[in-house]
Amino acid sequence: MNDPSIPTLADALLSWFDRTRRDLPWRQNRTPYRVWLAEIMLQQTQVQTAIPYYERFLSRFPTLADLAQADEQAVLKLWEGLGYYSRARNLLAAARQVMREDNGQLPCDFKALRALPGIGDYTAGAILSLACGQQAAAVDGNVVRVLARWSGTAWSAKSLQDRRQAADFVLTHMPAGRPGDFNEALMDLGATVCLPREPRCPACPLAGGCQAYCRNLTAALPLRDKSPDVPTERRLLLLIAAPGFWHVRQRPPRGLLAGLFTFDWLAPDQDPRAFRTWLQGQDNVLVQPLPSLTHRFSHLAWHVDALRLGLPRADLGELAAWLETDGPQPDGRWAGRQELQQLPFPAAVDQYRRQELDEPPKTASP
């Protein structure tokens, strides 16, 4: 890595970036707040998916002070469909902390940024380099892939030690005066050319010095960790409706889908077969099967079967005894059409709500 030809990496990379730079909304007027918001949204989310969410969020909360004053449900509603909702809750918590402790300004200091909820090494480095103009590395999976291949180093994006070595590599070769552009160029190269599978090596500005390309190692680098198998839980969703109302339940403030709203679920200690048998004897409940779905989270998957239960009036009656009662309101509550539209629902079950409201599906990933 001390080869005197290595400094040409920055020249070739930035020359390519100047010609091909993507026109993205967060690259305009790069303030710490805008960069922070974009980088949080881009975690686990494709660029094209994030763009409309970013624009809507910034329109609603144009400044950090506006976000800090927001209601959590309003923030979660704007995040609806992006998934990984802890990102939104951490944004709100961090904004409020900055207003209390940093005079309403995101600090241009690595240690202070890392002390904020939801900000790790990568996001802190992105804010410092892109918005503050500091020599700071922003190393994500794309960057590890580019550098592992170019240097021929057996790094893994999931290894903390390897990411730190990659960050040191970035800082060693980052040109003075363009730290943000250098980081963005590495990100763009990994996102558009140095792809995980079928990289576009002939189009790469670094191909001439790329060890993986020259030695036919692009498929082997970076090292790949096998994705762990996740357990599958079978759940029975109960969409309970009465004329003009739907029964909803808020998730607990901690854990999976924290604070979001869903329809009801059969309680875990209830036998689905016994419940279906009980339903057959209820003349006042109109039972309609709904399509099943499978939804994968980071650590588990849900296989969801669903029933629509039509009631003559907004009264659960004996049905309440079968329902899961987790959350801040153990009895749940009834929501009218307008409120149902406004409540933040997770992508895992949002298709059922949209069918009820005759709304088109969102295009974002979970």
The residue extents of the domains of the chain are 8-214, 232-357
Q: How far apart are CA 186 and CA 84, in angstroms?
A: 25
Mean pLDDT to the nearest integer, 326-337: 86
Paired tokens of 159? 């290894």
Q: How far apart are CA 150 and CA 208, in angstroms?
A: 9
Asked which of 200-204, 267-271, 284-288, 329-333 is least confident by mean pLDDT, the reply is 329-333
pLDDT at 2 over 60: no
Catalytic residues: 39
Q: How far apart are CA 6 and CA 12, in angstroms?
A: 10
- Work out the pLDDT band at 142, boundaries 50, 70, 90: very high
Paired tokens of 132? 């503050």
pLDDT at 363 over 50: no
pLDDT at 96 over 80: yes
Paired tokens of 80? 């609806």
pLDDT at 362 over 90: no
Pairing, β 264-265 against β 261-262: unpaired
- Work out the pLDDT band at 366, boundaries 50, 70, 90: very low
pLDDT at 128 over 50: yes
Residue whose token pair is 């994968």 = 296
Q: What is the dihedral of CA 143, 163, 175, 40, to 10 degrees?
A: 60
CATH fold of the domain at 8-214: Endonuclease III; domain 1 (1.10.340)
pLDDT at 196 over 80: yes
The average confidence (pLDDT) of the chain is: 91
Q: What is the pLDDT of residue 185?
A: 97
Asked which of 28-32, 67-71, 130-134, 144-148 is least confident by mean pLDDT, the reply is 28-32
Q: What does R_g of the chain's alpha carbons equal in angstroms?
A: 24
Q: What is the pLDDT of residue 111?
A: 96
Minimal CA–CA distance to 260: which of 72, 93, 45?
Answer: 72
pLDDT at 69 over 90: yes
Mean pLDDT to the nearest integer, 72-95: 94
CA distances from 147 to 5, 6, 63, 135, 198 (A): 15, 12, 35, 18, 17
Decide if 219 contacts 46 (C-beta within 8 A).
Answer: no
Q: What is the pLDDT of residue 326?
A: 80
CATH fold of the domain at 232-357: Nucleoside Triphosphate Pyrophosphohydrolase (3.90.79)
Share of the chain above pLDDT 90, in %: 78
Minimal CA–CA distance to 365: which of 84, 89, 92, 136?
Answer: 84
pLDDT at 4 over 50: no
Enumerate the H helices of the chain as residue ranges.
Answer: 8-20, 32-42, 47-60, 64-68, 72-79, 86-101, 110-114, 121-126, 141-151, 160-173, 179-192, 211-214, 272-280, 337-342, 347-357
CB within 8 A of 281, min separation 6: which ones?
A: none
Q: pTM (2 decimals)?
A: 0.82
Mean pLDDT to the nearest integer, 36-44: 95
Q: How far apart are CA 94 and CA 99, in angstroms?
A: 9
Decide if 186 contacts 13 (C-beta within 8 A).
Answer: yes
